[in-house]
């Protein structure tokens, strides 16, 4: 019998020290450095590494309970094979050998006809460069499986940054502490970017003004000097009106604009079409808030914008992100280290992706690409010349698509297909795992090696295994390695161990970009990035300048300038579904991760829809009533909370609950749509009209 081989824990460390250094694997900008305390080989405590300045010894509530997750009684400890109907969640344990043999036989049969009928489905359950798309990418590249556009979170904003600044680059997060004005735009920092909030508090102590731009009155908005509660999907209008005011009041840095930007005349003409009164109407906020913010932004130095992905999950999310990303160049905010903008820092890491993922294994093939957002539609498609082969096998890892992908009615229908072969690598029996033919037990971050970049700071972190794999769990890397062997893949790269993959991540022909021995010693290493990276322009765009006008977008037949685009679904366009629904993250979950950790679920309570008192009264909905939230795509039942956090016309369905823990076995994504954003082919989770009714059955 094969034992749980996986990767050997770092025995020397386990023996000589009671603490092991690691990295938080979750999809969170903070990428904290962890210290795991061991007693007799058992992890008894996970805490923040006090030596790592970005972590400051503090973790969020979720991860400070990480041992509860790793040793959770419901962890999947053995490979499981389906015995009931799809979705019933009935499985029997099988040995690793028999699971892997059967999976490989199945995949070989499909690959012999057309490997593109096999599709990976993965996202950011772990952000580690090895356990995310390391050995897995090698496996799918060699196989010639369909490629996956990993768009479900940040694609519109990411593309906007590429087109405007040249990449996912921006301010160094620590310098927000020195700003005099911080605009928190589309982000609930206290809930989802806690370590950034520490810098805000420091700035506040030094007299900075803090403004929050968010349709929801979040816990972050509560603690800011001002909250601008605009309608979802109207951020570009606001940004253009700010530009209008900067222009008419001449709060511009003419020298910075002349030297370091392209397309100023065109952008100026566009912005002058947006007087504050026009934007105030589109955004549904008072004119004075817009003119006041413009004055603050135009006259305060240093001024910094913390943009986050919440504002780009609407049709015009790309354009809005572009409009906002233009602002710091107009005022020359980039000149100071505490000025500028940060959406994501991930583009600042010199990762050697090719060394880890080995795209050369495609050997000249260019398989079709699926967009993970439209998995619902795609699973229901037959073969066609435009689409390619019908999807016959899906291998899911680091993701829970049945809960997190939009229009889940269709996703479920797809996963229910009897002729679909589904393998799910997981820690738990999630909504997705319920539909698997095989569930393979994966290790958690305490049990494997990995190396991490970050999208909220600029340090590289190493994660060492602290404990032996729980049960028979194996790292994703080990599972794909074993599958590769059974598929007959003989390239030496399939034999490389995880530490070698970690070392490859920052290796380059001209020398390593990160000192691996420093990582082994300290657990983290800081990238050598200038304090004010764009003080002298030199943006990584083709022109080397901040591109107000993007010739690359224009060449694609798109607008070269940012503009306000209406949502796909705008209130008023149809009387049937008059409320806009957004579904932002809950503080004690991480997307759908942690929903099954009882102590955290108890804090969140149950799935809730926040609704403004006027909207509730118009529908006869008392606080705490069970409501039906519905639109043309489906219906979802949950409890209503008449709440000051909701603005009129907008309801907030905090996500992302496991469907099976909701009232009807559904969640908010029953209502969201598979349409895409203007740029980057991203998701539009917050561009979704609904109606809400008192649930008469529940009221009886």
Ligand X SMILES: Nc1nc2c(c(=O)[nH]1)N[C@H]1C(S)=C(S)[C@@H](COP(=O)(O)OP(=O)(O)OC[C@H]3O[C@@H](n4cnc5c(=O)[nH]c(N)nc54)[C@H](O)[C@@H]3O)O[C@H]1N2
Chain residues binding ligand X by CB under 6 A are 27-29, 123-126, 131, 152-154, 185-188, 191-193, 213-216, 218, 232-233, 235, 308-311, 314, 397-400, 403-404, 425-428, 430, 442, 476, 582-585, 587, 589-593, 655-656, 668-669, 672, 685-686
3-class secondary-structure state, position 640: strand
CB 618 within 8 A of CB 644: no
Return the range that interacts with ligand SF4 (CB under 6 A); candidates 29-37, 429-437, 489-497, 686-694. 29-37
Nearer to ligand SF4, 163 or 345 (CB): 345
63 in contact with ligand SF4 (CB under 6 A):
yes
Q: Does 24 bind ligand SF4 (CB under 6 A)?
A: yes
Nearer to Mo ion, 31 or 49 (CB): 31
Judged by CB under 5 A, the chain residues 151 through 170 that form the site for Mo ion are 153
CB 449 → ligand X: shortest distance, Å?
11
Question: Residue 5 or residue 58: which is nearer to ligand SF4 going by CB?
Answer: 58
Q: Are 30 and 56 in contact (CB under 8 A)?
A: no
Of 59, 546, 20, 614, residue with least CA distance to 332: 546
Least distance from ligand X to the Cβ atom of residue 691, Å: 17
Q: How many CB atoms are closer than 10 A to CB 39? A: 9
Half-sphere exposure of 388 (CA within 13 A, CB side): 19
CB 488 within 8 A of CB 437: no
Q: Counting contacts by CB under 6 A, is residue 59 touching ligand SF4?
A: yes
* Shortest spacing between CB 405 and ligand X, in angstroms: 7
Closest CB to Mo ion: residue number: 153
32 binds, among ligand SF4, ligand X, Mo ion, none (CB under 5 to 8 A by kind): ligand SF4
Alpha-helix runs per DSSP H in 539-620: 551-555, 598-604, 613-618
Instruction: Indicate the helix (H) or strand (E) that contains 461.
Output: strand 459-463
**DSSP three-state, residue 571:** strand
**Which residue, 194 or 553, is less far from Mo ion as judged by CB?**
194
In SS3 terms, 60-91 reads as CHHHHCHHHHHCCCCCCCCCEEECCCCCCCCE
Of 399 and 454, which CB lies nearer to ligand X in the complex structure? 399
678, 316 contact by CB (below 8 A): yes
CA distance 298 to 279: 18
Nearer CB in complex with ligand X: 345/592: 592
What is the pairing mode between strands 421-426 and 393-397? Answer: parallel
Q: DSSP code of 497? A: -
Instruction: Check binding of 132 to Mo ion (CB under 5 A).
Output: no
CB of 589 to ligand X, least distance (A): 6
Q: Does 670 bind ligand SF4 (CB under 6 A)?
A: no
Handedness of CA 380, 382, 383, 386 (dihedral sign): negative
* Residue with smaller CB distance to ligand X, 228 or 391: 228
d(CA 581, CA 619): 16
- Shortest distance, position 611 Cβ to ligand X, whole Å: 14
Task: Label residue 284 exposed, middle or buried (CB < 10 Å: 0-12, 13-18, 19+).
Answer: middle
Contacts for 474 with CB less than 8 Å, ≥ 6 apart? 4, 5, 6, 96, 440, 441, 442, 443, 482
Interaction of residue 32 with ligand SF4, rule CB under 6 A:
yes
Q: By the 8 A CB rule, do 394 and 422 touch?
A: yes
What, of ligand SF4, ligand X, Mo ion, none, does residue 398 touch, CB below 5 to 8 Å by kind?
Answer: ligand X
Strand 450-452's sheet: what is its strand order? 450-452, 459-463, 524-526
Q: Are strands 650-653 and 608-611 parallel, antiparallel or unpaired?
A: antiparallel
Q: Which of 22, 30, 155, 637 binds ligand SF4 (CB under 6 A)?
A: 30
For residue 331 the two structure tokens come to 């005022």
Nearest distance in Å: CB 471, Mo ion? 29
Gyration radius from the chain CA atoms: 25
Provide the greatest CA pair distance for the chain.
76
Which one, 262 or 640, has the nearer CB to ligand X? 640
Pick 274 or 685: Cβ nearer ligand X: 685
Assigned token pair, 148: 């996956």
Q: Note whether 593 and 432 are within 8 A (CB).
A: no
Please state, in angstroms and rounded to a whole number, the distance separating the CA atoms of residues 700 and 697. 6
Residues 535-594 within binding reach of ligand SF4 (CB under 6 A): 590
Phi, psi of 34 (to 5 degrees): -105, 150
**Stretch in the footprint of ligand SF4 (CB under 6 A) among 59-67, 204-212, 345-353, 600-608:** 59-67
Q: State the nearest-atom distance from the C-beta of 48 to ligand SF4, in Å.
A: 7
* Cα–Cα distance, 648 to 167 (Å, whole number): 36
Strands 91-93 and 80-82: antiparallel
Q: Which of ligand X, Mo ion, ligand SF4, none binds 59 (CB below 5-8 Å, type-dependent)?
A: ligand SF4
Provide the minimum distance between the beta carbon of 312 and ligand X in the complex, in angstroms, as a whole number.
8
| Residue 26 in contact with ligand SF4, rule: CB under 6 A | yes
Q: Which is nearer to ligand X, 235 or 245 (CB)?
A: 235
Q: Contact at 8 Å (CB) between 480 and 135?
A: yes
Q: Which is nearer to ligand X, 153 or 257 (CB)?
A: 153
**Does 467 sit near Mo ion (CB under 5 A)?**
no
Residue 681 within binding range of ligand SF4, rule CB under 6 A? no
Q: State which of residues 20, 21, 31, 479 lies at the interface with ligand SF4 (CB under 6 A).
A: 31
Of these, 62, 142, 358, 628, which contacts ligand SF4 (CB under 6 A)? 62
Using the rule CB under 5 A, give the single segment among 45-53, 148-156, 388-396, 536-544 that binds Mo ion. 148-156
Residue among 600 and 616 whose Cβ is closer to ligand SF4: 600
| Token pair listed for 170 | 């921006």
Does 28 help bind ligand SF4 (rule: CB under 6 A)? Answer: yes
Size of the site for Mo ion (CB under 5 A): 1
The contact set with ligand SF4 (CB under 6 A) reads: 24, 26, 28, 30-32, 59-60, 62-63, 194, 590
The contact set with Mo ion (CB under 5 A) reads: 153
């Amino acid at each position: 019998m094969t034992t749980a081989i996986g990767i050997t824990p770092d025995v020397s460390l386990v023996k000589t020290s009671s603490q092991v250094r690691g990295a938080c694997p979750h999809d969170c900008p903070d990428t904290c450095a962890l210290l795991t305390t061991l007693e007799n080989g058992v992890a008894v405590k996970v805490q923040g590494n006090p030596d790592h300045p970005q972590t400051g010894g503090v973790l969020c509530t979720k991860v400070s309970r990480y041992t509860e997750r790793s040793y959770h009684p419901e962890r999947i400890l053995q490979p499981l094979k389906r015995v009931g109907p799809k979705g019933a969640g009935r499985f029997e344990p099988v040995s690793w050998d028999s699971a892997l043999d059967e999976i490989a036989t199945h995949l070989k049969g499909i690959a012999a006809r057309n490997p593109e009928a096999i599709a990976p489905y993965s996202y950011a359950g772990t952000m580690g460069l090895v356990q995310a798309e390391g050995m897995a990418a090698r496996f799918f590249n060699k196989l010639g499986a369909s490629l996956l556009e990993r768009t479900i979170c940040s694609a519109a904003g990411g593309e906007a940054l590429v087109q405007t600044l040249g990449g996912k680059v921006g301010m160094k997060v620590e310098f927000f502490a020195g700003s005099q004005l911080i605009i928190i735009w589309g982000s609930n920092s206290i809930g989802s970017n806690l370590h950034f909030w520490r810098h805000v508090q420091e700035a506040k102590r030094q007299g900075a003004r803090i403004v929050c731009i968010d349709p929801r009155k979040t816990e972050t908005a509560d603690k800011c000097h001002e909250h601008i509660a605009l309608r979802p999907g109207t951020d570009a209008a606001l940004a253009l009106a700010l530009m209008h005011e900067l222009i008419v009041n001449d709060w511009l840095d003419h020298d910075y604009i002349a030297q370091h930007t392209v397309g100023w005349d065109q952008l100026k003409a566009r912005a002058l079409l947006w007087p504050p009164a026009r934007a105030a109407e589109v955004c549904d906020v008072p004119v004075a808030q817009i003119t006041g913010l413009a004055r603050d932004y135009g006259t305060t130095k240093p001024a910094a914008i913390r943009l986050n992905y919440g504002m780009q999950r609407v049709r015009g999310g790309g354009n809005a992100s572009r409009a906002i990303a233009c602002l710091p160049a107009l005022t020359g905010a980039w000149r100071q280290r505490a000025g500028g903008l940060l959406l994501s820092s991930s583009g600042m890491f010199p990762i050697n992706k090719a060394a880890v993922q080995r795209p050369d294994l495609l050997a000249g093939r260019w398989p079709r690409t699926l967009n993970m957002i439209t998995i619902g539609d795609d699973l229901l498609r037959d073969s066609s010349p435009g689409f390619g082969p019908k999807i016959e096998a899906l291998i899911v890892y680091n993701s829970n698509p049945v809960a997190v992908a939009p229009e889940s009615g269709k996703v479920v229908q797809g996963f229910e297909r009897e002729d679909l072969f589904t393998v799910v690598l997981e820690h738990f029996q999630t909504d997705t795992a319920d539909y698997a033919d095989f569930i393979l037990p994966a290790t958690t971050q305490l049990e494997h090696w990995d190396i991490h970049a970050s999208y909220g700071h600029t340090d590289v972190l190493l994660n060492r295994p602290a404990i032996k794999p729980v049960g028979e769990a194996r790292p994703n890397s080990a599972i794909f390695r074993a599958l590769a062997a059974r598929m007959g893949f003989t390239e030496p790269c399939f034999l490389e161990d995880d530490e070698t993959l970690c070392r490859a991540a920052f290796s380059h022909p001209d020398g390593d970009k990160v000192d691996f021995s420093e990582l082994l010693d300290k657990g983290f290493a800081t990238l050598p990035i200038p304090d004010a990276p764009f003080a002298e322009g030199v943006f990584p765009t083709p022109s080397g300048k901040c591109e107000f006008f993007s010739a690359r977008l224009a060449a694609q037949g798109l607008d070269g300038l940012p503009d306000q685009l209406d949502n796909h679904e705008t209130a008023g366009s149809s009387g049937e579904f008059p409320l806009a629904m957004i579904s932002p993250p809950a503080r004690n979950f991480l997307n759908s991760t942690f929903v099954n950790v009882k102590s955290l679920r108890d804090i969140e309570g149950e799935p809730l829809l926040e609704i403004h008192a006027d909207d509730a009264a118009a529908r006869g909905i008392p606080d705490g009533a069970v409501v039906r939230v519905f639109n043309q795509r489906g219906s979802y039942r949950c409890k209503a909370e008449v709440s000051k956090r909701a603005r009129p016309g907008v309801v907030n369905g905090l996500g992302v609950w496991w469907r099976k823990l909701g009232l009807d076995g559904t969640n908010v994504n029953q209502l969201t749509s598979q349409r895409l954003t203007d740029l980057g082919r991203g998701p539009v989770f917050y561009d979704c009209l609904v109606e809400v009714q008192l649930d008469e059955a529940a009221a009886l």
